[in-house]
Amino acid sequence: MNMPLLTLITFLPVLGAVIVMLFFQRERTGAIKAFATGVAAVDFLLSVPLWTRFDTAQAGFQFVEKAAWIPSIGVSYFVGVDGISVLLVLLTTLTMLVSVVCSFSAIHEREKEYYVCLLLLGTGMLGTFIALDLFLFYVFFEITLVPMYFLIGIWGGPRKLYAAIKFFLYTLFGSVLMLLGILALYFVNVKVGTGRLTFDIVELYAVGPKIPLSLQVWIFLAFFIGFAIKVPMFPFHTWLPDAHVEAPTAGSVILAGILLKMGTYGFVRFALPLLPQASQVFVPFMVLLSIIGIIYGALVAMAQTDVKKLVAYSSVSHLGFVMLGVFALNEQGVLGAQLQMINHGISTGAL
């Protein structure tokens, strides 16, 4: 029996968070830091063989794990990685390890709760990149919202509450619309697809081209707003500078390095393959917004004296290039977008 590597990588951080909550006293800050570092380090080490054992010559998803979860409504625990997500998993575990270590000198109050939030956030991000069930993806996508809200709102800077609430409301608004899009795909599959209720994206990939264009457009708009806020694309970017500046150092590293990639990943994994005709219709619009974001983000970044604001606005610019690659709608564009996502994650985390 093969080891469920993806499950281990994804749920090790939340298991660590539960252990910290139940078995570590608040005063034992040194032990909490050491344990959190150990969890993050083991998670990173587990993700290395995921990358080294990945067969680049094999098409489709690898390390697949599937089990019934809520069969009455067609929800399953279905996870796997391909060439895009395997690198994002490795980047996430590395960024988590760096974030835990760089928190040692930056966080001096409520440290137990802080590391619990940080580890829980790790599980949410990892689950987002490996989920092959739309319901499961949505659960993981939303899990990231709560700990990030607390990281900004409790351990942030002087305007932390304003930044945390703004981040929460923007993301929640996009998530509600994305949920409507997911439910639309879920129910339309009964009429034009397999005739059964399922959130399995492999099955839904085959259904997407059969959906009438008019309906595809509306579903794409729902996904677009949800993912564009997360990227963030111009003009949905206004939450990022506040959140980035007010977040603690580790929060800023994770925010720029990983969380923003959840939006671009969502377009590649879901919006484009599930809604191919609508994606083609929106190409001019998406390219225009991307170009505006590239120029606007770069110009505003040049005027910044605060490093965190500079990184925030430069991220708007850099991820504009990612979106240009995604909506080139060809293999070279997506590969370029993937490379830029990894480059941006490493460079912004280092800054």
- Residues 302-327: what's their mean pLDDT? 87
- Residues 318-331: what's their mean pLDDT? 88
pLDDT at 341 over 70: yes
- 3-state secondary structure (DSSP) of residue 53: coil
Which one is predicted more confidently, 142 or 189?
Answer: 142
- Residues 287-292: what's their mean pLDDT? 93
* The model's pTM: 0.91
Q: How far is CA 159 from CA 162, 250, 307, in A?
A: 6, 17, 17
pLDDT digit string (tens) for 208-222? 888 888 889 999 999
Percent of the chain topping pLDDT 90: 37
Cα 149 from chain centroid (whole Å): 15
Return all residues near 98 (Cβ < 8 A) that are at least 6 apart.
253, 349
Distance in angstroms (rounded) separating the CA atoms of residues 165 and 167:
5
Percent of the chain topping pLDDT 70: 98
Which one is predicted more confidently, 319 or 306?
Answer: 319
Rounded to the nearest 10°, the torsion over CA 148, 253, 107, 238 is -50
Q: What is the mean pLDDT of the chain?
A: 88
Distance in angstroms (rounded) separating the CA atoms of residues 331 and 334:
5
Q: Where are the alpha helices (DSSP H) in the chain?
A: 5-23, 29-52, 83-102, 111-130, 134-143, 145-155, 160-192, 201-207, 213-230, 239-246, 249-254, 260-266, 272-274, 276-281, 283-302, 307-326, 331-350
- Confidence class of residue 351 from pLDDT cuts 50, 70 and 90? low
Burial class (CB in 10 A: 0-12, 13-18, 19+), 56: exposed
Q: How far is CA 298 from CA 240, 243, 295, 317, in A?
A: 15, 19, 5, 6
The count of residues in the chain is: 351
- Count up the domains in the chain and report the number: 1
Residue whose token pair is 């993937």: 338
- Residues 109-113: what's their mean pLDDT? 85
Which of the 8 DSSP states describes residue 70? E
- Confidence class of residue 132 from pLDDT cuts 50, 70 and 90? very high
Q: What tokens appear for 306 in the block?
A: 């605060």
pLDDT at 2 over 70: no
Q: Given this model, what pLDDT does residue 1 score?
A: 44
The pairs formed by 164-168 with CB atoms below 8 angstroms and a separation of 24 or more are 164/243, 164/246, 166/238, 166/239, 166/242, 166/243, 167/239, 167/242, 167/243
- Residues 119-148: what's their mean pLDDT? 92
Which one is predicted more confidently, 255 or 228?
Answer: 228
Residue whose token pair is 């689950």: 127
pLDDT digit string (tens) for 171-216? 999 999 999 999 988 888 777 766 678 888 888 888 888 888 888 9
- Confidence class of residue 135 from pLDDT cuts 50, 70 and 90? very high
Please give the angle made by the CA atoms of 314, 317 and 318, to the nearest 5 degrees. Answer: 85
Pairing of strands 62-70, 75-81: antiparallel
Q: Please list the residues that pair with 310 across neighbouring strands.
A: none
- 3-state secondary structure (DSSP) of residue 346: helix
Distance in angstroms (rounded) separating the CA atoms of residues 17 and 35:
10
Q: How far is CA 341 from CA 79, 81, 145, 209, 335, in A?
A: 21, 16, 21, 28, 10
DSSP secondary structure of 87-110:
HHHHHHHHHHHHHHHHTTTT--SS
DSSP secondary structure of 152-211:
HHHHS-TTHHHHHHHHHHHHHHHHHHHHHHHHHHHHHHHHHSSSS---BHHHHHHHGGGS
State the first-to-last Cα distance of the chain, in angstroms, to the nearest integer. Answer: 42
Residue whose token pair is 């697949």: 64
Q: Given this model, what pLDDT does residue 58 score?
A: 82
Domain with 107, as residue range(s), is: 5-350
